[in-house]
Structure 1
Amino acid sequence: MQIISFDSADLPGNERLRRDRWVDSLSSGYVRLRADAGPDVPFNGQLKIMLRDQTAIGRISGTVQAITRGTSEIAMENTDNAVLLLNSGTDEMLVEQNGKSVACAAGAAVLIEQCVPSSIELGAQHLCNFLAIQLPRQQLRGHTCNVEDRFMTPIPAAAPAPALAYAYVETLLKLSNAEQADIPRFATDHISDLVVAAVTLKTLHQETQAPNLRAARFETIRRELDRNFMMPGFSLAMLARRLPVSSRYVQTLFSEAGTSFTDELTNRRLMRAHEMLVSPRYAHVKVIDIAYECGFPTVSHFHRIFRRRFDATPGEVRDRAAR
């Protein structure tokens, strides 16, 4: 696992030097390319790229007018990779390749080839903000779906599969260094399935042809639950809207795993409450405050399910830990 992080604000020197370093970092994570800075705009650029094997995912932002990969860059470093570009900014991106142009609005996406000259032009604000998923073309050919004719085909922002790909990539990029080291190798299979889904799947029902996609979606759902389980009133509907998928589909994935949203939510809250009760750090915090902080709606409900789970009241657990 290799991580490339860059922020131009952390570098000394003039704007051209910072832009060149941004381009060099971006090129080392993906492929050789060129970037033109926006006119009369101070350069500012950030990126974070995660590489595993031949797969790369990353978040790229910067004040540039255009990003291009021409014949000279291809001659110096030719690859047979495909790249899914997801516009995560507010400005429209104009992507051009093979004589075709695709205007990617906020949330929209498009699949491009690295072995063909291409360009990404930004709007009047000259602000790029997108996610890029790069993987060998052979990984796409290995699926039953034919994606060869899906290059430079607009993928609307309303399509569910690109939203899932975005959520999954963002989840991986937000992991700590220790968590990144534990990323399983099948994460690259998930990413490959997500790219195929983004460019080919029409409905969620077609996911039965891509089991790894369902696994990736369920992993994203679980991580979203991990981030929000302490939120008061957090519900199945709220979880589904964040992804976005239907509540019924979330219930189906939990059921396939032999559990339910309610059980998973309650278990996380109980385990967090137990950790706080036995920790000296929270010895001064009242039990009622711990209950509310962990997301329980009422103290009576908290006491009832806590005793059922641990065969002791919250006060008894705290006293045992203190002794």
Structure 2
Amino acid sequence: MIKLEALGSADAPAALDLQAIEEPRRAEIWARTAGAFFPGLSVCDLRASPSVGSMRGRKFGSGQLWTILSPPVRVSYVPTSSSHGLAQTFSLMLQLQGSTLAAQDRRSCLLRPRDVCMIDGRAPFELEVHDGISHLMFVQIPRHMAVGRYPYLEKQTAAALDRAEPGTQLLSNVLSNLLEAAPFLEEEQCAAALVSIAQLLGVPKVPMLRECEEIEKRVHAALAFIDSELADPGLTASRVAQAQGISRRRLDEILLRTLGTSVTAQIWNRRLAQAASDLLDPRQASKSITQIAFGVGFADTAHFTRAFKRRYHCTPREWRSRAVQ
């Protein structure tokens, strides 16, 4: 009997190669393994004895890194109580070979080699491979690191990023290089790389923002300025607006329309998101919770603890304990 163990329950990599499985059992093992590795995922329309297929995953900082070589198949995902971990992730996918149809939230795209798209683990989605094989990689990023930093990405899932756009090309190249380098990276390097990839999600121009160049520039400039000044407890919405030469009221209008939050809310949201990331970062393990709070611009530890608990429904200490579990 083959023992299936979901990634995350152990430090060892998770892997399946259908060529090591007897042909009559390949479809059954593929479906069962997919459900074990990705709770909430159902496999449909899989040929009885696919000739090739593999799934390989490994822990990557506070996220996970996967490569999938898929035979023709359709899979659907619906968040359930058993898929809580997956629902807290935001995945960045790179198509390596073949093609994959991705669909989520009434959006869909056909991914071809070098195409990049995102999938939100909090919402249902479908992936389908029509012909031949599909080889893809994806990085599962903790949702707070991705959407907490760039809220507009929620409405950009299952949409292939413009491969001709320089920001998308940079992201695609980073993912390709990551696939080659990952096996040789140490734990702390993986953690740092994951944080960097989460930050790079803001580099590509997305279709929603290209509709209005002024809004695109204002939003990106505001978020970049907030990130650069995050450690300053004196950072205010007025300073963010002043750096762009517009009124605070106008910048609030832009952010409320595009991100659904004010400038001030973005400052505090990004402080909390960075603190949550730092608390799970092994490189920050020697720092106290107070030092981390001060490092992202909180001037009072009690205020930080209350705000963190409202956002993440646990204390900073409880959140940090996840890194060592």
**What TM-score results when the alignment is normalised by the length of structure 2?**
0.51
Q: Secondary structure at the match of 1:186?
A: helix
Deviation at 1:6, TM superposition (A): 2.8
Relative distance call for 1:16 and 1:172 in structure 2 (3 A) is: same
Number of the residue aligned with 2:54: 46
Letter of the aligned partner of 1:66 in structure 2? R
Do 1:105 and 1:157's aligned partners in 2 also have CA atoms closer than 8 Å?
no
Deviation at 1:69, TM superposition (A): 0.4
Q: Deviations over 1:63-90 (max 9, x none)?
A: 13212103xx534323232112222223
Number of the residue aligned with 1:112: 119
Q: Secondary structure at the match of 1:120?
A: strand
Relative distance call for 1:156 and 1:22 in structure 2 (3 A) is: farther
Describe how 1:175-214 pairs up with structure 2 within 5 A. Answer: 175=181, 179-181=185-187, 183-198=189-204, 200=206, 209=224
Number of the residue aligned with 1:90: 98
| Alignment of 1:132 onto 2:138 | yes
Q: Secondary structure at the match of 2:162?
A: coil
Residues of 2 paired with 1:17 and 1:101: CA distance? 28
Residues of 1 paired with 2:142 and 2:77: CA distance? 17
- RMSD of aligned C-alpha atoms? 3.6
Residues of 1 paired with 2:46 and 2:124: CA distance? 21
Relative distance call for 1:180 and 1:168 in structure 2 (3 A) is: farther
Structure whose alpha-carbon radius of gyration is higher? 1
Relative distance call for 1:162 and 1:31 in structure 2 (3 A) is: farther
Q: Secondary structure at the match of 2:203?
A: helix
Q: Secondary structure at the match of 2:98?
A: coil
Unaligned runs of 5+ in 1: 213-323
Deviation at 1:23, TM superposition (A): 1.6
Deviation at 1:61, TM superposition (A): 1.0
Number of the residue aligned with 1:168: 174
Describe how 1:69-84 pairs up with structure 2 within 5 A. Answer: 69-70=77-78, 73-78=79-84, 79-84=87-92
Describe how 1:1-323 pairs up with structure 2 within 5 A. Answer: 2-12=12-22, 14-20=25-31, 22-24=33-35, 27-28=36-37, 30-36=38-44, 38-39=46-47, 42-70=50-78, 73-78=79-84, 79-91=87-99, 93-125=100-132, 127-143=133-149, 146-175=152-181, 179-181=185-187, 183-198=189-204, 200=206, 209=224
Deviation at 1:164, TM superposition (A): 3.5
Relative distance call for 1:74 and 1:189 in structure 2 (3 A) is: same
Letter of the aligned partner of 1:159 in structure 2? E
Q: Deviations over 1:229-265 (max 9, x none)?
A: xxxxxxxxxxxxxxxxxxxxxxxxxxxxxxxxxxxxx
Q: Secondary structure at the match of 2:54?
A: strand
Number of the residue aligned with 1:315: none
Relative distance call for 1:88 and 1:151 in structure 2 (3 A) is: same
Do 1:74 and 1:116's aligned partners in 2 also have CA atoms closer than 8 Å?
no
**What TM-score results when the alignment is normalised by the length of structure 1?**
0.52
Number of the residue aligned with 2:271: none
Letter of the aligned partner of 2:121 in structure 1? Q
Letter of the aligned partner of 1:46 in structure 2? S
Deviation at 1:175, TM superposition (A): 4.2
Deviation at 1:167, TM superposition (A): 3.6
Deviation at 1:139, TM superposition (A): 0.8
Q: Deviations over 1:95-132 (max 9, x none)?
A: 1112222222332222221121110112233x222111
Relative distance call for 1:185 and 1:9 in structure 2 (3 A) is: same
Unaligned runs of 5+ in 2: 1-10, 211-216, 228-325
Report % sequence identity: 14
Q: Deviations over 1:299-319 (max 9, x none)?
A: xxxxxxxxxxxxxxxxxxxxx
Q: Secondary structure at the match of 2:201?
A: helix
Letter of the aligned partner of 2:63 in structure 1? T
Deviation at 1:20, TM superposition (A): 3.4
Relative distance call for 1:161 and 1:40 in structure 2 (3 A) is: farther
Residues of 1 paired with 2:128 and 2:150: CA distance? 33
Relative distance call for 1:160 and 1:176 in structure 2 (3 A) is: closer
Relative distance call for 1:5 and 1:160 in structure 2 (3 A) is: farther
